[in-house]
Structure 1
Amino acid sequence: MESNLTKCPSIDNFRNQVYSTSYSLITLLGFVGNGFALLVLFRSYRQSTPFHVYMINLALSDLLCVMTLPLRVLYYVRQGRWYQGDFLCRISSYLLYVNLYCSIYFMTAMSITRFLAIVYPVRNLQLVTVNRARAVCVGIWLFSSLSSSSFLMSGQTFDKATNTTKCFEPPQTSGKYLKKLQTLNYVALVVGFILPFLVILICYAGIVRTLLSRNLVANRQQNSAARAIRMIAVVLLTFLTSFMPYHVQRTLHLSFLARQDTTCSERVAMQKSVVVTLSLAAANSCFDPLLYFFSGEGFRSRLSSLRRTVRASSTSQVKPKPVTTSEAGENHHVECS
């Protein structure tokens, strides 16, 4: 059995390749998807609903996160050399985790909203309003920002061995500091993942049970049921692909660091799993546009409305040829069309 102090092979090449590639793809897909979604949502803001408010805030959260990812790409393309200063190092780490937990809570709020609309439609009209949705969004932003503030405490560091400035590197974990990290992780695991996920599962169980017990005859009811099913699929896909692997791996990794009997192969495998699961966690920004398109209330109708508006504005720029009095009667049917 190899000792815990054995010098293990570096995974820097693996880390640099995976992070630079995955963050580049996430930046492209997340910026285009969420940017386009915000354009549609803001252009149709007069038709605002509570679900609409949550979608806007979720897209804003994703865009804030995606805008910091090019700094990470640059860092890993440069083989772990940081030149952008301490402030950008802190803020880019901070916004990644603010987005992570904002996404979880906004999805939870959207799930509760859809649950109330389907299971308690009468009570939903009194409980769920646009102003209350805005208040919930403010609370989510404040809670996520404050609870992630610990990531602002660690910035860039100077590595004397390589004579380079580092960022996004894991902190030194030993003794009391490791126990503190484990405690913080358990709190974040319960409050930031397990409880929201349980709420979402309860909401979806209630939605499915209600839909199965109803005879959905009207087209409006059928459309509402279809949106609910699509939302369940997208949210569960995001949780199982992005949020769950990251939280499970982070918990296992911190427990792994406390052990003294680990081998090099185990440590290398654990370090590589950190890279993969953090990339998947950041990829939640790419899944959210699917939520807007497939399950958003009227999102596709808003998109069609935006297309008609753009088409009308483009055709109005072409001025029609003046029509004489004698031609007016002959072309009356053209003018009416």
Structure 2
Amino acid sequence: TQNSSMCPSIDDFRNQVYSTSYSLIFVLGFVGNSFALAVLIKTLHQSSPFHVYMMNLALSDLLCVMTLPLRVLYYVRKGRWEQGDFLCRISSYFLYVNLYCSIYFMTAMSVTRFLAIVFPVKNLQLVTVNRARIVCLCIWIFSSLTSSPFLMSGQHVDPSTNKTKCFEPPKHASNRLPKLQALNYMGLILGFILPFLIIILCYAGIIRTLLSRTPATRRQHGSAQKAIKMIVIVLLTFLVSFMPYHVQRTIHLNFLSKEGTSCSEQTFMHKLVVVTLCLAASNSCFDPLLYFFSGEGFRSRLSSLRQTMRNSTMHRSVKLKPISSANGENHQLDAN
């Protein structure tokens, strides 16, 4: 058995990858989701259940990316936390609340799309804006409560370096491991496997219904194209962001409770933690694609917003024109 403290540190790799990735995710996530949220708020009068889920997803992503600059600061300072215990706890908490809110909002969007295509008549009675709002409220409460254990661990002082630490993964054979493993299995089943199964079943139903339609009917239904784009984006987000993170987290926690691991194994595992956590945080960058390509009339909302802004600009310039022409006449009179 090799003690992890005797193994070469991956701190330089970790600090570089985290600070670069989180900076990029912050910029892309903040711009994309702020823009989407602005469009969705401006066109609130055209509300639909899908619109409600999109708004909540954008809000959840913004909450998450707002905490990333604190992480960037921590890794730029080479693992020294100077922002206090409260911000340490809240930054970890918001990352996990967003992660599971994103998964559940995507699941709700998939179920909504499934009902609209497979049961179009029942859908009108089942899926309403008010029901969508209640579902969103339940998702927020559930994600906030199930992520609350992350509020329990805050900053701590590393006795070997005397540095104040935050966001640190558990050490080998830590006494926190049994509790973390139990939390992980709960998160894995309720927060990943169950929603993923629901999404797969919804998409199987959607594809089956679309394939049973005649080509002429398929062309008439714009919802078919939106559904296919949504399937591609959501599955990509799950396969790139959520799956590697949940699989690796489970393997890593089991690995930490094992005895007799070599330094190369420990280094490899720690590097995988860094890469998969960055991928998990990157889900905030995928979501704006979801609004733009499969959002219910998102592009038409965007063009109507553009048209409204253009009309108001023209209205303003028309108001100003008589004043400038009157000034022109005055100049001519002065010249005579």
Q: TM-score interval w.r.t. the shorter chain? A: over 0.9
Q: Distance in 2 between matches of 1:150 and 1:79?
A: 26
Q: Which residue of 2 aligns with 1:110?
A: 109
Pick closer, same or farther for the CA change 1:6–1:94 going to 2, 3 Å. closer
Verify: 1:301 aligned to 2:326, yes or no: no
Q: Deviations over 1:181-216 (max 9, x none)?
A: 212211110110000000000000000000000115
Pick closer, same or farther for the CA change 1:120–1:285 going to 2, 3 Å. same
SS of the equivalent of 2:157 reads strand
Give the Å deviation of 1:69: 0.2
Confirm or deny: 8 A CA contact 2:85 2:155 kept in the other structure.
Answer: yes
Unaligned runs of 5+ in 1: 324-337
Give the Å deviation of 1:217: 2.5
Q: Which residue of 2 aligns with 1:212?
A: 211
Give the Å deviation of 1:3: 3.3
AA of the residue aligned to 1:208: I
Q: Distance in 1 between matches of 2:149 and 2:234?
A: 27
Pick closer, same or farther for the CA change 1:285–1:109 going to 2, 3 Å. same
Q: Deviations over 1:161-191 (max 9, x none)?
A: 2222111112346365322221221111011
Q: Which residue of 2 aligns with 1:100?
A: 99
More moved, 169-178 vs 29-38? 169-178
Pick closer, same or farther for the CA change 1:56–1:242 going to 2, 3 Å. same
Verify: 1:282 aligned to 2:281, yes or no: yes
Verify: 1:252 aligned to 2:275, yes or no: no
Q: Distance in 1 between matches of 2:252 and 2:113?
A: 36
More moved, 227-236 vs 256-265? 256-265
AA of the residue aligned to 2:135: V
5 Å-filtered alignment, 1:163-178, equals 163-172=162-171, 174=173, 177-178=176-177
Unaligned runs of 5+ in 2: 324-336
Q: Distance in 1 between matches of 2:281 and 2:26?
A: 10
Confirm or deny: 8 A CA contact 1:4 1:260 kept in the other structure.
Answer: no
Q: Deviations over 1:63-93 (max 9, x none)?
A: 0000000000011001111111111111011
Q: Distance in 1 between matches of 2:322 and 2:313?
A: 19
AA of the residue aligned to 2:277: L
AA of the residue aligned to 2:18: Y
Verify: 1:154 aligned to 2:153, yes or no: yes
AA of the residue aligned to 1:232: I
Q: Which residue of 1 aligns with 2:138?
A: 139
Q: Distance in 2 between matches of 1:271 and 1:5?
A: 11
SS of the equivalent of 1:317 reads helix
Give the Å deviation of 1:4: 4.6
Q: Which residue of 1 aligns with 2:76?
A: 77
AA of the residue aligned to 1:100: L
SS of the equivalent of 2:194 reads helix
Q: Which residue of 2 aligns with 1:38?
A: 37
Q: Distance in 2 between matches of 1:15 and 1:286?
A: 21
Q: Which residue of 2 aligns with 1:335?
A: none
Q: Which residue of 2 aligns with 1:130?
A: 129
Query: What TM-score results when the alignment is normalised by the length of structure 2?
Result: 0.93
More moved, 152-161 vs 138-147? 152-161
Q: Which residue of 2 aligns with 1:330?
A: none
Q: Distance in 1 between matches of 2:114 and 2:263?
A: 48
Query: What TM-score results when the alignment is normalised by the length of structure 1?
Result: 0.92
Give the Å deviation of 1:15: 0.2
Give the Å deviation of 1:37: 0.1
